[in-house]
Amino acid sequence: MSKNISIFDTTLRDGTQGEGISLSVDDKLNIAKKLDFLGVEYIEGGIPGSNSKDIEFFKRVQELGLTSKIVAFGSTRRKGGNAETDANLNRIIESGAKAATLVGKSWDFHVHTALQTTLEENLNMIYDSIHYLKRNGIEVIFDAEHFFDGYKNNPEYTLSVMTRAYEAGADWLVMCDTNGGTMPHEIQEIVRAVVSHLPEAKFGIHTHNDCELAVANTLAAISAGARHVQGTMNGYGERCGNANLCSVIPNLQLKLGYHCIAEDKLAQLTNVSRYVSEIANVNMPVNQPYVGSAAFAHKGGIHVSAILRDSRTYEHIAPEQVGNKQRILVSELAGQSNIISKAQELGIELDPFSSHSRQVIDRIKDMEHQGYQFEGADGSLELLIREANGEVKELFTFESFKMLVEKTAGKPVVSEAFVKLSVGGRSHYTAAEGNGPVNALDNALRKALVTYYPSLQEMHLSDYKVRVLDDKDTTAAKVRVLIESKNFSNGWNTIGVSENVIEASWEALVDSFRYALLNEVPLEIIEPDTLAQGMVNH
C-alpha cells in the first residue's frame, strides 16, 4: 500500500469555526500562500454558498497561481430538490475552485433528526450532488459527517452511503468523527472494515479533538488504510479543534515513514505554524508539540546536565527537523548549571566559580519571587547576566516621568508624557504625545536619546502584553508587562513588574532601549557653536 498521504488543510474553513478565530479575506490569502509554500495538497478556503467574503476569497486566490488545490466547501443538495438548481452547489461551480468538499449525512439518527428526511432521499442527495459537480469537471471530496457514530448505530447504512458516493464518482471518501467522541481502537476497526468493503475507493479521515485524541485517531485511520488527512494548522477548529496538522505531519513523516510534504518544507513547519497563529491573532501555547517555544525547552536540573552531554538523552527528535530549537529555561527549579548554560547560549562567558555567577543566580531568584518571569524575557535576562559581569553601561540617569491621559465627552482621548533625565551630566526634559500612554512614554524617551543613538529610529515595539499576577484584588495587584521590540534584523523581549501598569511598562521600555543599544557607542553631541564652526570650515 502506498506510503503517500494526501494532506488536506481546512484552517480557512473548519479552523475559523474555533472560538476567537476570525480571518479577513487578506488574512486568508496570506495563510493560503504559506500553506502552498509548505506544500499541502489541498487548501479548503471557505463556503462560497455562505457569504460574500468567501466568494471574494475564491476570486482573488486564483490570481495567486498556487500549486496546492483550492477547495470550496458545501453541503449536499436540499431534500426534495435537484442538484442542477441548488443555489449552494452552483455557487461552488461559480467559485472557480477545482475541487469541492461535499458534506453529507451518514448517521441515520441525524438523517431523521437534523435533516428530517428519509434514508433513501439522503442517499439520493449525496449521489445527485456529487454527480452534478463531477459532470462540471470538479474533483469531489465527500465528507461523511458523523461517520463513526453512524457506523456504530447502523453499519449497513453508512456503508451504503459510501458506496453511493463512490458510484457517483467521489475522488476521496472521508470518514468524519464530527463530534470528536470516538476512541482510537474504534476508529481503527471501523476504517479497516470500510476499506475492505470498498477496496477500490480512496479513503480519508477527519477528526476532532474533543477527547484529546484527534491526532491519535488520525494515525489509527492511516494504519487501517486511509490515505488522506483533513486537519488544521495548530489544531484550530470548532469546540476543541480539529486534528492538528503540525503534529500529524511530523508523526506520519518522522515516526511512521509516510510521505506528506517535502523534507526541506518540514523544516519550515515551526515558522508556518507561528505565522498562522500571528495572522489568526491567537497566542500559541508554549507547550504545543513540535512547534511550541517550549517543545524542546528544558527546565529540570538533572535533564539539563544530561542534555548538555547528549541531546538524544531527552529529545525524541532533533528540533531542527521541524524548524524548532532547543532552549534552556531559567527558573527557581534551575541550578547554577542552567544559568551558566543559558549564558553560554547567549554567548556570554560566566565563570562558574566566581561570586558574579552566584550574584546573578541570587538576583534572578529574588526577582522571580517578585513576579518576574525570564522565560519570556530573554532581553532582560541577558542584561542581568551582562550587568553582573560588569558589561552594561547605563544610558542615562533617570530623574522623573509624568504620564497624563485626558478624555472629555465628545472629544478624542489625549495622552502626553514628560520625561526628565540626564546623559553624561547633560539634562534633558522632553514632552511628547502618543496614541496611548506607552506610545507617549516611548516617544518622549526616544526624543531624549535619539541624538546620542540615531539607530533608535530603526527600532519599534512590536508586541505589548499585560498580565495580572495576583487575582485577589486586581487593579491593586502586581502586573507583569512584556514588551517585544524589533529592528531590521532582530527581535528581543523585555519585562517590567510593578503594582502600576505604567511603571511596569516604563521598566520594560527602558530595558528594551538598553538592550537595543548594548553595543552602541553614543554620538558625541556637537554643540551648536562647534557645528557653526564646522560649517564655516567646509
Applying the rule CB under 8 A, the residues between 255 and 314 that interact with its own copies are 255-256, 278, 281, 285-290, 292-303, 306, 309-310, 312-314
> Please, are residues 527 and 459 in contact by the beta-carbon 8 Å criterion?
no
Main-chain phi, psi angles of 464, to 5 degrees: -145, 120
Residue 358 near its own copies by CB under 8 A: no
Calpha distance 103→145 (Å, rounded): 6
469 touching its own copies, by CB under 8 A? yes
Stretch that binds its own copies, among 124-132, 342-350, 394-402, 448-456 (CB under 8 A): 394-402
- How far apart are CB 283 and its own copies at their closest, in Å? 8
| Shortest distance in whole angstroms from residue 76 CB to its own copies | 12
Site residues for its own copies, 116-145, by CB under 8 A, read none
Give yes or no for residue 37 binding its own copies (CB under 8 A): no
- DSSP output for 441-492: HHHHHHHHHTTT-GGGGG-EEEEEEEEES-TTSGGGS-EEEEEEEE-SS-EE
394 makes contact with its own copies (CB under 8 A) = no
Distance in Å, CB of 200 to its own copies, minimum: 27
332 in contact with its own copies (CB under 8 A): yes
For residue 236, what is the enclosing H or E element?
A: none
**Residue linked to cell 435537484:** 82
Site string for its own copies, 157-176 (x = CB under 8 A): --------------------
Min dist. Cβ of residue 341 to its own copies (A): 16
Within 501-530, the residues that bind its own copies by CB under 8 A are 501-503, 506
Q: Measure the CA–CA gap between 401 and 424, rounded to whole angstroms.
A: 19
Shortest distance in whole angstroms from residue 466 CB to its own copies: 4
C-alpha to C-alpha distance for 277 and 224, rounded to whole angstroms: 32
Q: Residue 427 pairs with which residues in a beta bridge? A: 422
Q: How far from 360 is each of 338, 342, 374, CA to CA, in Å?
A: 12, 12, 13
Contacts to its own copies from residues 40-79, by CB under 8 A: 50, 75
CB distance 6 to 204 below 8 Å = yes
Contacts with its own copies in 472-501 (CB under 8 A)? 473-477, 479, 484, 498-501
| Nearest of 110, 111, 112, 121 to residue 80 by alpha carbon | 121
Among positions 15, 74, 104, 184, the unique one binding its own copies when judged by CB under 8 A: 184
- The footprint of its own copies on residues 447-466 (CB under 8 A) is 460-466
Interaction between residue 389 and its own copies (CB under 8 A) = no
Under the binding rule (CB under 8 A), the answer on residue 220 touching its own copies is yes
Report which of 240, 195, 201, 245 is spatially closest to residue 219, judged by C-alpha positions.
Answer: 245
Site for its own copies in 416-445 (CB under 8 A): 434-439, 442
Q: How big is the chain, counted in residues?
A: 538
